[in-house]
Chain A
Amino acid sequence: KQEVTQIPAALSVPEGENLVLNCSFTDSAIYNLQWFRQDPGKGLTSLLLIQSSQREQTSGRLNASLDKSSGRSTLYIAASQPGDSATYLCAPYSGYALNFGKGTSLLVTP
């Protein structure tokens, strides 16, 4: 069974900082990996999808990398803003359904 771990569990940074969120997973036989954002009490918004053959994917201030062989992915957020405050979830897909970690709760203070 795919186990997903996200570190740190929570993070508080001042506005403008660059930050890195870490995700590790136990089964490297994945098709792709998605990063999601979840605002309190809300659904999930897909941020980035990395295919298993890719090393990284970029969207605006977000950059996600994937090292499939070692079972790791990172989400890099540049020049953080208060509007980035949310929980970030990574979810590798192994051919049946997404597997979720507990997420990183991010607070960006003005």
Chain B
Amino acid sequence: DAKTTQPNSMESNEEEPVHLPCNHSTISGTDYIHWYRQLPSQGPEYVIHGLTSNVNNRMASLAIAEDRKSSTLILHRATLRDAAVYYCILRSRGGYQKVTFGIGTKLQVIP
């Protein structure tokens, strides 16, 4: 599986935008970029995914580099409820969809 690299932790002030980076230099042409987040004592929840174009949904935006070797999850206005561990993962389109979660980025939101 192609791997991803994320910073271990980040801080943000409440109500400010947050940009969470992810490097995936070995991404293949069939890999989708997925983001999940995990609140304390809960299972991860899906946030957003994309292939080549930038994506927006009600939770966040996903900016994908032109060479697809990196991506950035954007939270437009961080709230205290956004404090979580954010995982960037790659999922291949073909065959069985095994997913490997790394350690992720622990986001701390400061009031």
Partners in one complex: no
